[in-house]
Amino acid sequence: MQGFDEYAALARHLYELQRSGERTTEQAAARRESTGDAIDQLGQRLTMQQQRLTELAQLIGEPLPQWNAPAPLPPLSVTGHLGSPPGPSPQGGVAGQETYPELAAGPDRVALTTTPAPTPSVPGPRLPTSGAYAPPTQQFPQPAPAVPVNPDAELDLAYRAAAAADEAAERVESQAGQPAFLPTASPFGRALAAYLIFIAVANIPQWLLGDGYKSGEVGWFTALAWMLAGLPALAFFGAYISLTIWGRPRLGASQPNLYARLGFFLCFLVLAISTCFWVTP
């Protein structure tokens, strides 16, 4: 009975080992399948990123990015080495076959004596006559053992890099979707600021014309024509053109409202009021 009990215990142990091996195989297959699905999803995501970057480059007028493909490996030769096949040997034979010259038949050779020849007395250092002489061998560094790669960790790093690229592309699109002049302001605030800036700049020549009119160097018609019509028109068109160039998004979006009527009214009204101030003695 003791032998039967041992046999039953060994059978149970063998069955447990078999089941453990099957479970390990199933887990490895499931892990490979999930890893393959993750790689496919990552490839689709990278393809979408490539299309997105290409469209973004076309919108902002930049050259298309160059996607570097891996260089192909050189073809294998007949001998299994990389590169071109070896050429013929210097003797004209086929590579890989050794040729030996034929020796001419001659007279019988004289048998050599077994006694060692006397050592010639040549000056200089000599090798030791007793003991084995081993030439020094060069020690080459051994290659480091290959580090095992964790697919899950590599996929996690790839997903993090893809997420960082998505965030960078979103920031670029957000910045490119804003105008260069006062990007965080509303269209009304941007237009109002542009018109007021040009009105303030137009007050400088108005002040000079007012002084010239008071001193008599500039006639009243010339001064009033420039102060009431010329300078307000220049201020309006300068602000309007500036808003057209720097007040629109750089991604080719639709032109925002420039509030031309408001700008025209402000330029002529404010500069007319300032004209009264500059020409009054």
Tens of pLDDT along 108-161? 554 545 555 555 554 555 555 555 555 555 565 666 666 677 777 888 888 888
Q: Which residue has the higher pLDDT, 75 or 142?
A: 142
Average pLDDT (94-103) is 48
In a domain, 96, yes or no: no
Give the pLDDT confidence score for residue 139 in this predicted structure: 62
**21 lies in a domain?**
yes
Q: How far is CA 184 from CA 40, 175, 245, 254, 258, in A?
A: 40, 10, 17, 17, 16
Q: Which amino acid is at 214?
A: K
pLDDT bracket for residue 267 (50, 70, 90): very high
Q: pLDDT band for position 202 (50/70/90)?
A: very high
Q: Name the average pLDDT for the chain.
A: 75
**Is the CB of residue 37 less than 8 Å from the CB of residue 155?**
no
pLDDT band at 77 (very low <50, low <70, confident <90, very high): very low
Q: Is the pLDDT of residue 79 over 70?
A: no
Q: How far is CA 27 from the centre of its chain?
A: 36
Better-scored residue on pLDDT, 166 or 270 = 270
Give long-range contacts, CB 8 A cutoff, 24+ apart: 149-156.
151/35, 152/35, 155/35, 155/38, 155/39, 155/42
- The length of the chain in residues reads 281
Q: Is 208 contained in some domain?
A: yes
Cβ-contact 205, 253 below 8 angstroms: no
What is the average per-residue pLDDT within 183-206? 92
Q: What are phi and psi of 216, to 5 degrees?
A: 90, 0
The range of the structural domain enclosing residue 27 comes to: 1-49
Res. 234: pLDDT tops 90: yes
pLDDT at 197: 95
* pLDDT for the residue numbered 66: 64
Residue 80 lies in a domain: no
Question: Residue 88 pLDDT > 70, yes or no?
Answer: no
pLDDT of residue 80: 44
* pLDDT of 61: 65
Q: What is the pLDDT of residue 95?
A: 46
Higher pLDDT, 60 or 237: 237
Look at the chain and report how many structural domains it folds into. 2
Q: For the chain, what percent of residues have pLDDT higher than 90? A: 19
Judge whether residue 186 has pLDDT over 50: yes
pLDDT of residue 215: 85
Identity of residue 162 = A
DSSP string, 154-166: HHHHHHHHHHHHH
3-state secondary structure of 11: helix
Quick: pLDDT tens for 17-62: 888 888 888 888 888 888 888 888 888 888 888 888 777 777 666 6
